[in-house]
Amino acid sequence: MSKLVARVFSGSPVNLSRLAKVLRSGGIVAAPTETVYGLAGNALDPKACRKIFRAKLRPATDPLIVHVLGLDDLDRYAYGNSSARLLARKFWPGPLTIVLRKRTMIPSVVSAGRNSVALRSPAHPLFRRLLRLSGVPLAAPSANPFGYVSPTTAEHVRSGLGLRIQHILNGGSCAIGLESTIVDLRDAKRPRILRPGAITRSQIEQVLKVPVRERRSAGRYAQAQVAPGMLTRHYSPRTSVILHAVLDKSSVLSGAQNQAWVFLAKPSRVSGKNIYWMDRQGDLERVARGLFAMLRRLDVAGYARLNFECAPGKEGMAAAINDRLRRAAAKA
Ligand code: AMP
Ligand code: MG
């Protein structure tokens, strides 16, 4: 493990060119996107990408998303198709990742040996400036030790990777707060959502005009648990998370004081030190934005258990929020 402690950089022009230089010369930099903070490296440089895997203790079987400036890059790094171009035109830059058959210039370390590549054009101005200044596509998984909650502030990155990386670009809190929607378009006629996010299934269906399937994510949770050694040695949430379809006064009263109770909206008839809410009104966009920070904060608050209320429904942002809640609960 490196002795160097990470430096946090503001997004000044001088800092950005310095960090872009780090990226061009094969180094890695944590940087904000509108979804979560990513740990970026030159996607065309296998050595840089291996540094990302090492810093995160990420298993080599988990492929990295490649971040690009825009539409032109679809066909540069992948074999695009009309569905992919339609979606990119509509949702890029933004929180949509598209999986396509990869071109050979994408090294196999990035695709974890598969013949596909996952591409996204992020909207965050600082990340876009890094892309422009470095002049290379940037592979970037979330900037946290593998298996822990994704970071939505520079401080989250520092607390997780501060001893393992040297450069963190500070862009404040992430506007969306959940990782991108991933849509598999290797078969253009049969789109499939691999991970729900802020771009919803119905938004994608409206553009493609065909039904979009959604993968049950159970496999991924199981996969995440394949490496318990790594998780416990580092930042695995220690506190168990229990999910509730609805939280009400009676569930809280029957629960213990050493548990946290997290409502979606501010509850009207319950109060106490261990009572929390995700957003005063339960607005799902704001819930998404604050979810990971809430999980992190409560994980170190000394509770025996964290009780979370799920978002109502199975569609849209609720699907994305509940997916992350289930992941948090599955690892407990
Ligand atoms: P993250 O860990 O947040 O960076 O998300 C990366 C996820 O994107 C992976 O775990 C896969 O589910 C998906 N993904 C990335 N690259 C590919 C690829 N080449 N083919 C299929 N899925 C991919
Ligand atoms: Mg991740």
- Residue 29 domain flag: yes
- Residue 226 domain flag: no
Query: What is the domain extent for residue 119?
Result: 7-214
Taking the CA of residue 66 as reference, the ligand 1 atom at the shortest distance is: 16
The rounded distance, in Å, linking the Cα atoms of 270 and 255 is: 13
177 in the same domain as 69: yes
- Residue 220 domain flag: no
14 in the same domain as 80: yes
Taking the CA of residue 58 as reference, the ligand 1 atom at the shortest distance is: 2
Say how many Å lie between the CA of residue 313 and the centre of ligand 2.
Answer: 25
Where residue 50 falls (left for φ over 0; alpha for ψ -120 to 50; beta otherwise) is alpha
255 in the same domain as 309: yes
Q: Which of 214, 232, 249 is the last residue of a domain?
A: 214
172 in the same domain as 310: no
Say how many Å lie between the CA of residue 62 and the centre of ligand 2.
Answer: 10
3-state secondary structure of 67: strand
209 in the same domain as 247: no
- Residue 314 domain flag: yes
295 in the same domain as 153: no
How many domains, in total, are found in the chain? Answer: 2
Q: How does 165-179 read in b/e, with b if 16+ C-beta sit within 10 Å?
A: bbbbbbbeebbbbbb
- Residue 225 domain flag: no
- Residue 19 domain flag: yes
The rounded distance, in Å, linking the Cα atoms of 81 and 84 is: 5
Pair 115, 102: CB distance under 8 Å: yes
133 in the same domain as 276: no
Per-residue pLDDT of the chain (332 residues; tens, 9 = 90+): 545 589 999 999 999 999 999 999 999 999 999 999 999 999 999 999 999 999 999 999 999 999 999 999 999 999 999 999 999 999 999 999 999 999 999 999 999 999 999 999 999 999 999 999 999 999 999 999 998 999 999 999 999 999 999 999 999 999 999 999 999 999 999 999 999 999 999 999 999 999 999 986 544 443 433 333 333 333 346 799 999 999 988 888 777 889 999 999 999 988 899 999 999 999 999 999 999 999 999 999 999 999 999 999 999 999 999 999 988 888 64
3-state secondary structure of 260: strand
Q: Whose CA is nearest to atom 10 of ligand 1?
A: 62
Pair 123, 34: CB distance under 8 Å: yes
Using CB atoms within 10 A of its CB, is residue 232 exposed (0-12), middle (13-18) or buried (19+)? exposed
- Cβ atoms < 10 Å from Cβ of 108: 15
203 in the same domain as 103: yes
In this prediction the pTM is 0.93
- Residues around ion ligand 2, judged by CB within 5 A, are 142
175: Cβ contacts below 8 Å, ≥ 6 apart:
34, 124, 289
197 in the same domain as 58: yes
- Residue 17 domain flag: yes
Supply the CATH number for residue 43's domain: 3.90.870.10
- Residue 1 domain flag: no
